[in-house]
Amino acid sequence: MTLTETAYAKINLALHVRRRREDGYHELETLFAFVDAGDELTVAEADADSLTITGEFGDGLSNGPDNLVLQALNFMRGMVRPGMAPIPPLAIRLEKNLPVAAGIGGGSADAAAMIRLLDRHYVRNGDMKELVIASNHLGADIGACIVSMTRIGTGLGWELAMPADDDVRGTPVLLVNPRMPLSTGPVFKAWDRQDRGALPEGPASRIASEGRNDLEAPAITLCPVIAEVLAALQDTNPWLARMSGSGATCFALYDTPAARDAAAAAMPAGWWTMAGRLR
């Protein structure tokens, strides 16, 4: 039996960086949303665990124990309740359709997809909240990626709440990346440490339109082409264009699929694009 699961691309419709914590991290307030496409996981029972990575962005990625997909597998083996059959050895194939170090989930989305797949077919825990809390040691974004629906994230990002109204669900969205990887650490170091205030309240559309991404400016200082991507998206008349996470991927939201598809066609040929809808 072959099992499949999509690792949905994550975007931050807004990302506010707040006070510095005693542990050195900063409190975050963000509005997560997810696109209905991403990386693809395929799993089959085998004689031993293995991970094969394919796809446009698979070159150079580790398939060893440091890969978050295998870490998620080990985590879920620990979630099997007494008396239940253990998770068998698995042959895993990961098709990397999303650019890496791109602010759209990446390894977190892949690990979350693995957790969802294993829970549905082997562990059968079914308690999404428990899985989110128990898995936060794997990465701050993994909880949101497990849910893969519009959520407000606070703390380090894994404390999740629903917006007053998820009125952005189904919105046509275009992701654009200039094929420039950008690591989160240097972007945070380039941030000016100014707390510019809390995430707005209300429906998701209001939070998105009135919010901001505090990492956008420092990311542009490190990767100036991000400004070009944002300008190109703004020229297509979306109702919102912004950088996601710590970059370099940017997104734009449109009223219609036709407007989104016309915008995709207008992007420079060398840039990566992905069109979809918000889940």
Checking if the pLDDT of 9 tops 80, the result is yes
Q: Determine, yes or no, domain membership for 156.
A: yes
Sign of CA dihedral 79, 83, 89, 92: negative
Which of residues 161, 180, 202 is at a domain's end? 161
Instruction: pLDDT band for 173, please (50, 70, 90 cuts).
Output: very high
Per residue in 142-166, pLDDT (tens digit) is: 999 999 999 999 987 789 999 999 9
Which of residues 98, 129, 161 is at a domain's end? 161
Checking if the pLDDT of 93 tops 90, the result is yes
pLDDT at 76: 97
Q: Determine, yes or no, domain membership for 12.
A: yes
Statement: the pTM of the whole predicted model exceeds 0.85: yes
pLDDT at 178: 98
**107 contacts: CB under 8 Å, gap ≥ 6:** 67, 68, 69, 100, 139
**Distance between first and last Cα of the chain:** 27
Checking if the pLDDT of 42 tops 90, the result is yes
Q: Determine, yes or no, domain membership for 55.
A: yes
- 254: domain range? 172-277
Domain check: are 150 and 223 in the same one? no
Average pLDDT of 4-27? 89
Checking if the pLDDT of 25 tops 80, the result is no
Paired strand residues for 155? 28
Instruction: pLDDT band for 95, please (50, 70, 90 cuts).
Output: very high
Domain with residue 272: its CATH number is 3.30.70.890
Q: DSSP H helical segments within the chain, as ranges?
A: 68-77, 107-118, 128-134, 142-147, 184-190, 204-210, 216-222, 225-234, 257-266
For the chain, the average pLDDT equals: 96
Distance (Å, whole) CA 264 – CA 254: 11
pLDDT at 26: 75
Domain check: are 14 and 56 in the same one? yes
Q: Determine, yes or no, domain membership for 58.
A: yes
96 is a catalytic site residue: no
pLDDT at 23: 75
Domain check: are 28 and 139 in the same one? yes
Tell me how many domains the chain contains.
2
Domain check: are 120 and 61 in the same one? yes
Domain check: are 100 and 132 in the same one? yes
Average pLDDT of 174-202? 96
pLDDT at 278: 98
Q: Determine, yes or no, domain membership for 30.
A: yes
Q: Give the Cβ contact number of residue 163 at 10 Å.
A: 23
**226 contacts: CB under 8 Å, gap ≥ 6:** 178, 180, 216, 219, 220, 243, 247, 248, 250
Q: Determine, yes or no, domain membership for 52.
A: yes
What distances in angstroms separate CA 213 from CA 140, 271, 273, one per listed residue? Answer: 17, 22, 20
Average pLDDT of 265-274? 97
Domain check: are 134 and 263 in the same one? no
Q: Lowest mean pLDDT: which of 84-93, 109-118, 120-129, 226-235? A: 120-129
Catalytic residue among 110, 119, 141, 214: 141
Query: Which own/partner contact pairs does 72-75 have at CB distance under 8 Å and 24+ positions apart?
Result: 72/110, 72/111, 72/112, 72/114, 72/115, 72/118, 72/135, 72/138, 72/142, 73/49, 73/114, 73/118, 75/115, 75/134, 75/135, 75/138
Instruction: pLDDT band for 262, please (50, 70, 90 cuts).
Output: very high
Domain check: are 80 and 22 in the same one? yes
Which of residues 136, 161, 186 is at a domain's end? 161
Instruction: pLDDT band for 228, please (50, 70, 90 cuts).
Output: very high
Q: Give the Cβ contact number of residue 41 at 10 Å.
A: 23
Per residue in 100-147, pLDDT (tens digit) is: 999 999 899 999 999 999 999 999 988 888 899 889 899 989 999 999
235 is a catalytic site residue: no
Q: Lowest mean pLDDT: which of 63-67, 132-136, 206-210, 249-253? A: 132-136
pLDDT at 22: 75
Catalytic residue among 10, 110, 119, 214: 10
Q: Determine, yes or no, domain membership for 166.
A: no
Checking if the pLDDT of 20 tops 80, the result is no
Comparing C-alpha atoms, which of 114, 96, 116 is closest to residue 104?
A: 96
Instruction: pLDDT band for 16, please (50, 70, 90 cuts).
Output: very high
Domain check: are 151 and 234 in the same one? no
pLDDT at 140: 86
